[in-house]
Amino acid sequence: MNRVALITGGTRGIGLGIARALAAEGYDLMLCGRRPAIEVIDVLTDLGATGVRAAYQVADIANPADRASLLDRTRDTFGGLHVLVNNAGMAPRARNALLDATEESFEEVLRVNLQGPYFLTQAAARWMISQKAEDSSWRGCIVTINSISATVASINRGEYCVSKAGLAMATQLWAVALAPHGIPVYELRPGLIQTDMTASVASKYDTLIEQGLLLEPRWGTPGDIGKAAAMLVRGDLPYASGQAITLDGGLTLPRL
């Protein structure tokens, strides 16, 4: 039986980049998102062409019932779980300055970006611990896709930054809690990645990149993040549970 990876938001953008990388590693894939299943048929077909099984569940990770259903579907379809990739997230529906921010937006972004992954990790970790208790050879890990916004302030989307800062602490908390069970927990912090989420600001950052914003003068790609996730899943970075790895082309490197 192949090892199994659950990737939230795994049918587009960074999530799809990770799904492709893990499919190349031979992982069966459980993907979820908000889109109707009919809209992701081509994605599942392409992933399945690599020789792995790929399934999809409509799920909003902010919803407790959806999270439970997602894990139930994973269990029914694949029988086990080895890797959880917390990737799904959202930007605020409107970019408002801090003085104009609304509680409604704050609550929505925090539920999707922080509360959802936090409690999905809790439920998945319980299952992982029970699998390891039944089979000492079982091994797995948890990878959370965060953002440089965990430490870089953007005052026109404060709720997003707060959610990502909380996610960084959640990684550390889960790393400590799961260390006795031999389950490593990692965090990836992408910078400017070319996805549909960044399409609205592409022209702005195209100009900034041309002006020297980055050490590596290009947009990052979902494939870049997929390679990093695959490295962690393979166990190529031992002795590093709880660590955050920044993939931003040098954007946040202090320079004079």
Q: Distance between CA atoms of 51 and 67, rounded to whole angstroms?
A: 27
Residue 230 located in a structural domain? yes
Could you list the residue range(s) of the whole structural domain that residue 25 is in?
4-247
Residue 208 located in a structural domain? yes
- Is the pTM higher than 0.95? The answer reads yes
Residue 252 located in a structural domain? no
CB 52 within 8 A of CB 29: yes
Closest CA to 117 of 157, 154, 144, 82: 144
Cα angle 241-247-249, degrees, rounded to a multiple of 5: 155
Query: What is the secondary structure of 8-42 as a DSSP string?
Result: ETTTSHHHHHHHHHHHHTT-EEEEEESS-GGGGHH
What is the domain count for the chain?
A: 1
Q: What is the CATH number of the domain that holds 170?
A: 3.40.50.720
pLDDT number for residue 141: 98
Residue 67 located in a structural domain? yes
Local confidence pLDDT in tens for the 256 residues of the chain: 789 999 999 999 999 999 999 999 999 999 999 999 999 999 999 999 999 999 999 999 999 999 999 999 999 999 999 999 999 999 999 999 999 999 999 999 999 999 999 999 999 999 999 999 999 999 999 999 999 999 999 999 999 999 999 999 999 999 999 999 999 999 999 999 999 888 888 999 999 999 999 999 999 999 999 999 999 999 999 999 999 999 999 999 999 8
Residue 217 located in a structural domain? yes
Residue 151 located in a structural domain? yes
Close Cβ partners of 180 (under 8 Å, ≥ 6 residues apart): none
Residue 15 located in a structural domain? yes
Number of other residues whose CB lies within 10 A of the CB of residue 246: 19
Residue 65 located in a structural domain? yes
